[in-house]
Amino acid sequence: MPEVPAPNEAVDDPVETAQQVLPVLVDMPFHGALDSTLSYLGPALPPGSLVRAPLGHREVLGLVWDAPSDDLVAPGQTLRALLGTLDPLPPLPLAWRRLVRFAASYYQRSLGEMALSVLPPELRKLDPASLTRRLRRKGGLGSAPAPTDAPQTAARPEPTEDQAQALAQLAALQAREPGGTALLLGVTGSGKTEVYLRRAEEALAQGRQVLVLVPEINLTPQLEARLRDRFPGRLLVTQHSGLTPAQRLRHWLAAHLGQADLVLGTRMAVFSPLPRLGLIVVDEEHDASYKQQEGARYSARDLAVYRGRLEGVPVLLGSATPSLESWRHAQQGRYALVPMRQRVGQGALPQVRLVDMTQQPQAPRGQEPPPLAAPVLAALRERLERGEQSLLFLNRRGFAPVLHCPACQWKSDCPHCSAWRVFHKLDRTLRCHHCGFSDRVPRACPSCGNPDIQPVGRGTERLEEQIGQWLPGVRVARIDADSTRLKGTLEQQLSAVHAGEVDILVGTQMVTKGHDFRRITLVVAVNPDGALFTTDFRGPERLFATLMQAGGRAGRDAEAAARSELWIQTWNPAHALFQSLRRHDYESFAAAQLAEREMAGLPPYSHLALLRVEARTPEAAQDFLALARRDAMAWVEAQAAEVTVYPPVPPYLARVAGLERRQMLLESGSRPALQALLRDWLPGLRGLRAQTPGVARWALDVDPLGI
DNA sequence: AGCACGCCGACT
DNA sequence: GTCGGCGTGCTC
């Protein structure tokens, strides 16, 4: 191996086949420092080139970076030579590299981990020769359809007045500020998708690529179908974790090579390299799924906005119930607010009825109250008589959330978690929903032998059973994570609902998203109060969005819309959230929530970072955070920075799968101050682990969704 | 994070 | 005498 005089200097010898020292990123989290490249010898390659690099005893995928930084290579150290270049591929473009650089520094991950983790995994296995073969075959796209002679845009409906206005507003915005973000506020059924399609059409007509992000791809086959219908002559590819590794690579290549016109995908798609990017759409922008919950915990929605600004490309965020972060940006004029207040086709939103559960007759002593109040049952019967369908929304699967022994007060706890085990009657198990621990339900109390142990509370299994008893002969279907575990059963159950083979559908959150039920005219939120009083400050925001979305399942057929209803069983009918919901008034809800957040100094009025740790003992977890807190507080004092470092606390679930969890919150009104603290603090955290044996893992979450 | 090397128990 | 447990340490 050749000797080099010093790192990071090109070897100035043209005879020596112009070997240079190249800064290369590999997938290594260990280089905690934010900017860290490894130095290799190789031919002159532009930044963004993908290479094969020797690393220890293996050969890994590497990415030539723009500049070396923080490199610990010693002067005179022998550098190894790159093993090859994936040169049939164009280098990843500057805009892509800048996005990765920002994400790595903002979410405090190493550049190498960030960059390599957002490339298709299959790319790691590719050597230059097999890549060349792959690209040569079928023009590089395998089974993807080649551009056809079909019209590039199919017939499209006349925009409604709302849509026309929104489109005019968006066109004006784009002319004024090409990299600007617009927030499209439109209730379910207001025709947001048509606005996306029109904007996409325009970008496509200018020869640009369109990136469409959705929270979960399996919930949005309609959107994919509509894009394909509307743009039959264009190449659309998807990007999500459900693809096989080969498909994902093929789709990614189509995007990167500029062959794909439309990329539709989940959060990972925000990192698709798109040489002709012209528009980014983020549908249901409030959805928590946009936040990655492991590894680099990025928010794809926030990165989409950043990317738009970076590339001078418009970003369109759409929601009926925007995140309060986006809403505040719109209020401040940082995002353009584009309201769409009418449902298409004069369809009315479902009427919201609050059922005051405190006014319902009390159940006899010792008996549990019936699951549905008398007026709700009457409303259900009415639908049955009219041959319409109803949806009972209960966000709790299983038969009962806990079993209880009235004699000795035993409860069905989980031996590994600080949680109850849920009674699943169908397979007679007690299951922990957090660690998966499961065994047969005991015949008698395991503590005192009392044979009369009782279910407490109600899940979807029990509700399904009780409905059958209350309304004999009714056809009930249950859709939740348990009933749809087998592949294809969800589709099967949904088609039974669509075919009218079901009168009442019982379901969890799963059924509230995306599905276009035409015959449902009644939605009942059976027990939504829990979310009102959670410790999570975003609980109300999520509940409001969920109930609006659930209500949106009713009356999707314009003819039935007039008599569609959303009933809410609540012990807190006066709660401001329900009062806003009754009027479908997102704006009053948001105003009230923002006032509360401002008083409490919570986002979007402050910025948060959360350090979480899991350890074998509470002491180890506590010690780790205590040391971390000491360092953070020392930094804050030295810098006289406005950052609050809160004491460590147990999270809602303090023990999961035998590991003790603790967390510590950092809060600041200034994002730069918080970022500066994180940047200086994190390298030291990696060393702390050695001082606190028993720590299994720790993670920093910037802009956490739940605290 | 992988994937080595390294130093002590039950097997062909 | 070997196969293999996962404890520490390195990777341009």
Class of the A348-397+459-598 domain?
alpha beta
Which tens digits make up the pLDDT trace of A372-429? 999 999 999 999 999 999 999 999 999 999 999 999 999 999 988 999 999 999 999 9
Give mean pLDDT, residues A194-207: 97
Q: What pLDDT score does A5 carry?
A: 42
- Which residues 291-310 of chain A have a CB under 7 Å from nucleic chain B? none
Least confident of A275-279, A280-284, A371-375: A371-375
Per-residue pLDDT at A149: 60
Q: Tell whether omega for the bond before A159 is within 30 degrees of 0, i.e. cis.
A: no
Give A6's pLDDT tier (boundaries 50, 70, 90).
very low
For residue A585, pLDDT beyond 90: yes
Q: What is the 3-state secondary structure (H, E, C) of A220-245?
A: CHHHHHHHHHHCCCCCEEEECCCCCH
How many angstroms separate the CA atoms of A611 and A622, rounded? 12
Write down the pLDDT at residue A491.
Answer: 86
CATH class, domain A607-702, is alpha beta
Residues 687-706 of A with CB under 7 A from strand B: 697
pLDDT of residue A2: 39
- Which pLDDT belongs to residue A466? 94
Tell me which amino acid residue A175 is: A
Mean pLDDT to the nearest integer, A173-188:
93
Class of residue A294 by CB neighbours under 10 A (exposed 0-12, middle 13-18, buried 19+): exposed
Nearest nucleotide by C1' from A1 CA? C12
Do the Cβ atoms of A131 and A87 come closer than 8 Å?
A: no
- CB-based contact A489:A496 (threshold 8 Å): no
Give the tens place of pLDDT for each residue, A525-536.
999 998 888 888
Binding-site annotation: residue ranges of A: 405, 408, 414, 417, 432, 435, 445, 448
Q: Which two tokens stand for residue A625?
A: 């955070």
Name the class of domain A161-345: alpha beta
Nearest nucleotide by C1' position to the A29 CA atom = B1
With a CB cutoff of 8 Å and minimum separation 6, the contacts of A226 are A193, A197
By C1' distance from the Cα of A78, the closest nucleotide is C12
The alpha carbon of residue A194 and the mean position of all alpha carbons in its chain are separated, in whole angstroms, by 23
Statement: residue A146 has pLDDT above 70: no
**Angle between helices A221-230 and A192-205 in degrees, nearest 10:** 40
* DSSP of A456-512: ES--HHHHHHHHHHHSTT--EEEESTTTT-STTHHHHHHHHHHTT--SEEEE-GGGG
DSSP E strands, A73-159: 84-85
Q: Tell me the average pLDDT across A481-499.
A: 89
Structure tokens at A495: 């088609």
Of the pLDDT bands very low, low, confident and very high (cuts 50, 70, 90), residue A8 is: very low
* Chain C bases near protein CB atoms (7 A cut-off): 10-12
Q: Residue positions of A in the annotated binding site for Zn(2+)?
A: 405, 408, 414, 417, 432, 435, 445, 448
As a whole-number percent, the residues of chain A with pLDDT over 70 amount to 94
DSSP state of A436: -
Decide if A348-397+459-598 and A607-702 have a common fold: no
Q: Is the pLDDT of residue A264 over 90?
A: yes
Residue with token string 């929530």: A593
Helix (H) or strand (E) holding A283: strand A277-283
Query: Rounded mean pLDDT of A114-138?
Result: 86
Q: Which two tokens stand for residue A168?
A: 């005019």
Question: Alpha-carbon dihedral of residues A342, A202, A310, A140, nearest 10 degrees?
Answer: 120
Q: Does pLDDT of A141 surpass 80?
A: no
Asked whether the predicted pLDDT for residue A312 surpasses 80, the reply is: yes
Q: Which nucleotide is nearest to A30 (CA to C1')?
A: B1
Instruction: Give tens-digit pLDDT for A622-639.
Output: 999 999 999 999 999 999
Q: If you measure CA to C1', which residue is closest to nucleotide B3? A: A57
The confidence score (pLDDT) of residue A380 equals 96
Report the range of poorest mean pLDDT among A2-6, A101-105, A456-460: A2-6
Please tell me whether any atom of strand B lies within 7 Å of the Cβ of A485.
no
pLDDT tens digits for A499-514?
Answer: 999 999 999 998 888 7
pLDDT 10s digits, A35-85 = 588 999 999 999 999 999 999 888 999 999 998 876 667 777 789 999 999
Highest mean pLDDT among A17-21, A26-30, A488-492: A488-492
Q: Indicate if the pLDDT at residue A142 is higher than 60.
A: no
Can you give the pLDDT at residue A345? 66
Asked if A178 and A312 touch (Cβ cutoff 8 Å), the reply is yes
Question: Which residue ranges have CB below 7 A from strand C?
Answer: A 7, 28, 30, 38-40, 53-56, 71-73, 77, 79-80
Confidence band of A147 (pLDDT split at 50, 70, 90): low
How far apart CA A198 and CA A62 sit, in angstroms, is: 39
Q: What pLDDT is stored for residue A401 in this prediction? A: 95
Whole-number pLDDT of residue A140: 46
Across A203-222, average pLDDT:
92
Taking the stretch 119-178 of protein chain A, residues with Cβ within 7 Å of any atom in nucleic acid chain B are: none
Beta-bridged to residue A50, according to DSSP, are A63
CA of A56 to C1' of B3 (A): 9
> Which pTM value belongs to this model?
0.93
Q: Which CATH superfamily is domain A14-136 in?
A: PriA, 3(prime) DNA-binding domain (3.40.1440.60)
CA dist., res. A564 & res. A257, Å (int): 48
A57 touches strand B (CB under 7 A): yes
Residue A149: which of A258, A232, A263, A254 has the closest Cα? A232
Q: What is the pLDDT of residue A692?
A: 81
CA of A111 to C1' of C12 (A): 15
The pLDDT value given to residue A339:
95
pLDDT cut 90: percent of chain A above it: 71
- Residue ranges per domain, chain A? 14-136, 161-345, 348-397+459-598, 399-457, 607-702
